[in-house]
């Protein structure tokens, strides 16, 4: 996949200048003992502002603060007590929201997180590897500032993850992204997506969001993303959207209405076992009368639901309802026995 | 080797901040050059571009300058002007950690400490629902890692496929493996004196003993190899290609397409009841060919399923 679109090639010099200006803003605020005024900043041509157009420089300064904020570095306006509203603003790095609070997390807390970070880094399907490495470095810096943090090696082929990494970056920034996609039937199409969430299942990463081409919410698999362009255009994720409802089960993959189905799970099934089986979908209630768990979930494909119950019989004792599900389950058993007669 | 492309503005800013952070925390503020490239996620031939950019950073009012030196082998920052205090997590990092807090089943006070201590300011108010995944770690990941790191022998309560109920085992934990979306503890079963694999999401309880582990040589084998070594083998027939494609079992061995469109294949497996469940789920599209006694055991097994009280009531 081409990770560098033609726009980048043309904009190399301005890109360097932009990067330098943002890093310089960080540098001077970080090294300054006192807040800097707006005038000190936007009139400084060495810093990267100081053009003939002050309004433009103020806009650049605002965008640069936003870029730093995306990276966790918060530049805030500082006003002294008693200052007038029309007095010029001063700016400083907000220490409380930017710098980690020393001593606020225990070594055990950091090690618990590091454990999960390292497990994630060993997985092929993760599109946020750099983010994990950043977390790792920061945690090590808090718990063991003297020692080097040995970075784990990256499994698999990095080129295979670029599409997923591009969609992940767009998701973090909440920017629409255009990409080419190969569906399960091998058909290629170009999509523009607002990524509302992502989930990992069965060794793949899936991106879910509003697809401009279809006008609906669609799911896209990481290894089918062919190429992606630089993201543009902001959006907000609707508050009603729940990514967990997209963790799919085999009986979801059919057209038609979804029917509530119920299964009995072993009475000694733990929460972890149930969660791994059900993906947190549906409702799970314990029945004292039957000494078992009752799992109710919606299914689009009753045959697939019956097959799922049989394949996971070590946890799913039996289907409960509707009668069609139970009959389908019996039918599958009967056909299998008949085939061995 | 082809030259790497120039870094975009966003990547340069990321790389610059990461390099300043890494140099700030490195012993004597020196990093190996290869390691520096790896840490900041750039190709080795892109590192000079990052350092060139950082070396232009200066405050003409105070006279402070970022002084970063690069030799053939190392990168070194001089002075304090460019050093950064430990930063909170960025927006991206906070999203990832929020997801991990959800997966790790940490208690509320630990989550609160982590959020207060290192997570970034999220004025979007969107937390916790951005990323999801199928549960894989169970409740004991942190304790297991502690036991592995410190060499602690443990007792483990676990129900395998062949067990009617969970039972306790004494184990020496060795490592955690990930395979096909499932996380496993690789450990030595002390009583059985053998290597074993345990799904993390099926571990019911784990306790530390007062003993240390005895070092064992465990294999790097995956589930398929483990089944081949310790399991039984059966010969099955899949009725057609679509049935064969739906089979994603780790123990599948040699597959032989047949002239009638069916497929004969071998499978290594550890539990008769598991294999019977898969065959029943296929509703006649999958049949056991050999061994004969295994094939003959399917019908009695199916009868027991059909006679279960919750099913007979339905």
Considering the domain boundaries, does residue B84 fall inside one? no
Is the minimum CB–CB distance between A254 and chain B shorter than 8 Å? no
Please indicate whether, in this complex, the C-beta atoms of B129 and A172 are within 8 angstroms of each other.
Answer: no
Q: Are residues B162 and B191 in the same domain?
A: yes
Based on the domain organization, do B227 and B206 belong to the same domain?
A: no
Residues B299 and B232 in one domain: yes
The last residue of a domain, from among B212, B233, B264: B212
pLDDT band at A150 (very low <50, low <70, confident <90, very high): low
ipTM above 0.90, yes or no: no
The A residues from 176 to 235 touching B (CB cutoff 8 Å) are 197-203
Residues on chain B touching A134 (C-beta within 8 angstroms): 18, 89-90, 92-93
pLDDT in tens, B292-304: 999 999 999 999 9
Q: With respect to residue B181, please indicate whether it lies within any of the assigned structural domains.
A: yes
Report d(CA A194, CA A218) in Å as an integer. 10
**Torsion sign across C-alpha atoms B134, B138, B142, B144:** negative
Q: Helix/strand/coil (H, E, C) string of chain B?
A: CCCCCCCCHHHHHHHHHHHHHHHHHCHHHEEEHHHHHHHHCCCHHHHHHHHHHHCCCEECCCCEECEEEECCCEEEEECCCCCCCCECCCHHHHHHHHHHHHHCCCCHHHHHHHHHHHCCCCCCCCCCCCEEECCCCCCCHHHHHHHHHHCEEEEEEECCCCCCCCEEEEEEEEEEEEECCEEEEEEEECCCCEEEEEEHHHEEEEEEEEEECCCCCCCCCCHHHHHHHHCEEEEEEECCHHHHHHCCCCCEEEEEECCCCCEEEEEEECCHHHHHHHHHHCCCCEEEEECHHHHHCHHHHHHHHHCCHHHHHC
Note whether B106 and B187 are same-domain residues. Answer: yes
Q: Is residue B1 part of a domain?
A: no
Tell whether B69 is covered by a domain: yes
Which A-chain residues 11-50 have CB contacts (< 8 A) with chain B?
A: 11-12, 14-16, 18-20, 22-24, 26-28, 30-32, 40, 44, 46
pLDDT in tens, B35-44: 899 888 899 9
Residue B314 lies in a domain: no
Given a cut of 70, whether residue A102 has pLDDT beyond it is: no
pTM metric for this prediction: 0.81
Q: A138–B86: do the CB atoms touch at under 8 Å?
A: yes
pLDDT band at B308; cut points 50, 70, 90? confident
Domain match, B64 and B103 both: no
Per-residue pLDDT, averaged over A81-104, amounts to 78
Structure-block tokens of residue A75: 């530049």
Query: Residue B86 domain-assigned?
Result: no
The predicted structure's pLDDT at residue A155: 54
Q: What is the mean pLDDT of residues B282-308?
A: 95
Give the pLDDT score at A139.
Answer: 85
pLDDT value at position B124?
Answer: 41
Contacts of A264 in chain B (CB under 8 A): 310
Would the pLDDT of B50 be above 70?
yes
- The enclosing domain of B34 has a CATH number of 1.10.10.10
Same domain, B97 and B180: yes
B280 and B182 within one domain = no
pLDDT range class, residue A250, cuts 50, 70, 90: very high
CATH number at residue B252: 3.30.70
CB of B148 within 8 Å of a chain A CB? The answer is no
**Residue A89 reports pLDDT greater than 70:** yes
pLDDT tier at A25, thresholds 50, 70, 90 = very high
What pLDDT sits at residue A272? Answer: 87
Q: Of B62, B114, B283, which is closest to A335 when you measure between CB atoms?
A: B283
Average pLDDT over residues A215-237: 93
Does some domain include residue B122?
yes
Q: Please state the rounded mean pLDDT for residues A287-298.
A: 91
Q: Is the pLDDT of residue A144 over 80?
A: no
- B188: tokens are 């030595």
Q: What is the pLDDT of residue A216?
A: 95
B158 and B195 fall within a common domain? yes
Q: Which of A93, A117, A270 to mutate to test the interface with B (most CBs of B within 10 A)?
A: A270
For B115, name the nearest residue in chain A, comparing CA atoms only: A105
pLDDT of residue A164: 92
Q: Tell which B residues from 86 to 125 touch A, by Cβ distance under 8 Å.
A: 86-97, 100, 103-104, 106, 110, 113-114, 116-118, 120-121
**Are B22 and B104 part of one and the same domain?**
no
Q: Which of A10, A17, A103, A113 to mutate to test the interface with B (most CBs of B within 10 A)?
A: A113
Whether the per-residue pLDDT at A149 is higher than 60: the answer is: no
Q: Which of A151, A247, A273 sits opposite B39 (nearest CB)?
A: A151
Last residue of a domain, one of B51, B78, B105: B78
Instruction: Please determine, for residue B115, whether its predicted confidence score (pLDDT) is greater than 90.
Output: no
pLDDT recorded at residue B105:
76
Size of interface A-B (CB pairs under 8 A): 341
Q: What is the DSSP letter of A99?
A: B
Question: Do both B188 and B256 map to the same domain?
Answer: no
- Report the range of poorest mean pLDDT among A232-241, B66-75, B178-187: B178-187
Same domain, B57 and B117: no
Name the domain boundary from B212, B236, B260: B212
The verdict on A318 touching B (C-beta cutoff 8 Å) is yes
Domain residues for the domain of B124 are 91-212
Q: Which is more confidently placed, B270 or B314? A: B270
Q: Which of A193, A122, A113 is nearest to B89 (CA)?
A: A113
Residue B287 lies in a domain: yes
Distances (CA, A) of A307 to A311, B21, B269, B277, B307: 6, 53, 19, 9, 18
Q: What is the pLDDT of residues A113-128, one digit of tens each?
A: 888 888 888 887 889 9
pLDDT at A6 > cutoff 70: no
pLDDT value of position B1: 62
- As for how many domains chain B has, the answer is 3
Q: Flag whether pLDDT at A111 surpasses 50.
A: yes
User: Residues B120-173: pLDDT tens digits?
Assistant: 755 444 455 689 988 788 889 889 988 998 999 999 999 988 888 899 999 999
Of A315, A5, A85, A203, nearest to B166 by C-alpha is A315
Short-list B107, B35, B110, CA closest to B75: B35
Looking at residues B225-237, what average pLDDT do you find? Answer: 92
Residues B184 and B252 in one domain: no
What's the pLDDT at A3?
Answer: 44
């Amino acid at each position: 996949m081409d990770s560098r679109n033609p726009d980048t090639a043309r904009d190399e010099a301005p890109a360097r200048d932009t990067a330098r200006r943002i890093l310089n803003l960080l540098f001077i605020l970080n090294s300054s003992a006192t807040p800097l005024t707006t005038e000190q900043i936007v009139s400084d041509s060495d810093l990267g502002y100081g053009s003939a157009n002050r309004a433009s420089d103020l806009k650049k300064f605002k965008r640069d603060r936003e870029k730093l904020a995306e990276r966790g570095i918060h530049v805030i306006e500082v006003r002294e007590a008693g200052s007038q509203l029309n007095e010029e603003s001063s700016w400083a790095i907000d220490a409380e929201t930017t710098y980690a609070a020393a001593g606020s997390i225990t070594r055990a807390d950091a090690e618990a997180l590091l454990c999960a970070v390292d497990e994630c880094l060993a997985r092929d399907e993760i599109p946020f590897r750099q983010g994990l490495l950043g977390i790792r470095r920061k945690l090590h810096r808090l718990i063991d500032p003297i020692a080097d943090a040995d970075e784990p090696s990256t499994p698999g082929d990095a080129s295979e993850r670029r599409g997923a990494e591009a969609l992940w970056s767009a998701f973090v920034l909440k920017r629409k992204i255009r990409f080419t996609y190969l569906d399960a039937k091998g058909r290629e199409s170009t999509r523009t997506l607002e990524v509302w969430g992502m989930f990992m299942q069965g060794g793949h990463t899936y991106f879910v969001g509003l697809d401009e081409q279809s006008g609906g919410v669609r799911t896209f698999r990481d290894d089918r993303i062919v190429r992606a362009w630089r993201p543009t255009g902001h959006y907000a994720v609707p508050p009603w959207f729940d990514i967990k409802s997209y963790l799919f089960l085999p009986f979801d993959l059919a057209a038609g209405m979804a029917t509530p189905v119920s299964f009995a799970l072993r009475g000694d099934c733990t929460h972890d076992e149930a969660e791994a089986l059900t993906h947190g979908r549906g409702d799970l209630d314990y029945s004292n009368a039957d000494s078992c768990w009752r799992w109710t979930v919606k299914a689009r494909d009753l045959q697939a639901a019956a097959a799922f119950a049989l394949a996971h019989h070590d946890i799913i004792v039996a289907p409960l309802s509707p009668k069609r599900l139970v009959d389908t389950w019996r039918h599958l058993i009967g056909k299998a026995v008949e085939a061995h007669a | 080797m082809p030259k790497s492309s120039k870094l975009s503005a966003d990547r340069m800013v990321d790389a610059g901040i990461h390099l300043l952070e890494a140099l700030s925390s490195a012993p004597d503020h020196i990093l190996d050059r290869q390691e520096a490239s790896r840490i900041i996620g750039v190709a080795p031939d892109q590192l000079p571009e990052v350092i060139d950019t950082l070396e232009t950073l200066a405050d003409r009012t105070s006279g402070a300058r970022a002084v970063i030196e690069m030799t053939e082998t190392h990168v070194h920052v001089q002075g304090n002007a460019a050093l950064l205090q430990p930063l909170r997590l960025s927006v991206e990092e906070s999203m990832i950690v929020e997801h991990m807090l959800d997966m790790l089943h940490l208690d509320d006070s630990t989550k609160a400490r982590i959020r207060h201590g290192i997570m970034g300011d999220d004025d979007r108010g969107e937390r916790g629902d951005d990323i999801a995944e199928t549960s894989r770690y169970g409740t004991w990941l942190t304790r297991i890692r502690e036991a592995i790191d410190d060499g602690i022998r443990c007792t483990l309560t676990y129900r395998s496929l062949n067990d009617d109920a969970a039972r306790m085992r004494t184990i020496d934990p060795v490592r955690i493996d990930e395979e096909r979306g499932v996380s496993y503890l690789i450990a030595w079963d002390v009583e059985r004196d053998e290597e074993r694999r345990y799904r993390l999401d099926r571990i019911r309880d784990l306790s530390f003993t007062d003993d240390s582990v005895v070092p064992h040589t465990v294999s790097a084998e995956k589930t398929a190899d483990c089944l081949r070594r310790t399991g039984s083998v059966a010969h099955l027939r899949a009725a057609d290609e679509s049935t064969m494609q739906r089979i994603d079992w780790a123990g599948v061995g040699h597959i032989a397409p047949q002239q009638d469109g069916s497929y004969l294949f071998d499978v290594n497996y550890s539990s008769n009841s598991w294999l019977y469940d898969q065959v029943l789920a296929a509703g006649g599209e999958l049949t056991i060919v050999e061994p004969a006694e295994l094939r003959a055991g399917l019908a009695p097994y199916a009868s027991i399923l059909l006679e279960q009280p919750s099913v007979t009531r339905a």
